[in-house]
Amino acid sequence: MFKEIGQFASMMRSMPALKEKMERFQKRLPQISAEGSAGDFPAQITVFVNGQMETISCQIPDQALMLGGGRLGEMVQTATNIALVKVRAQIAAEMQEITGGMNLPGMMPGFPGLPG
């Protein structure tokens, strides 16, 4: 318990620097990206997302179009979900670095420990 109190007091002293780091981090979110793929080559679909959880691009080869709408939709969904998991992991790792490993819940909606 005393360890957490000490960490909290230390964090409060460094709050201005932490706030600045968080502002820089939020501006950087669009540049963080990850990709997810689904399907087998040559019908492999690849989806790219950024740190704002936006789809940047979706690459669908002609061979994947022949699979039909249902299968194609599943592949796009799977590739997107894989990319989102990866980008969330990148964001969490960067947040751990910024906060020195402290868990700061509720700082970003949808992301435990991120600024909102």
Q: Which domains does the chain have, with CATH numbers?
A: 2-99 (3.30.1310.10)
Residue 47 phi, psi (nearest 5): -120, 135
Single pTM value for the model: 0.76
> Half-sphere exposure of residue 35, counting CA atoms within 13 Å on the CB side?
9
pLDDT in tens, 54-112: 999 999 999 998 888 889 999 999 999 999 999 999 999 999 988 877 665 555 544 54
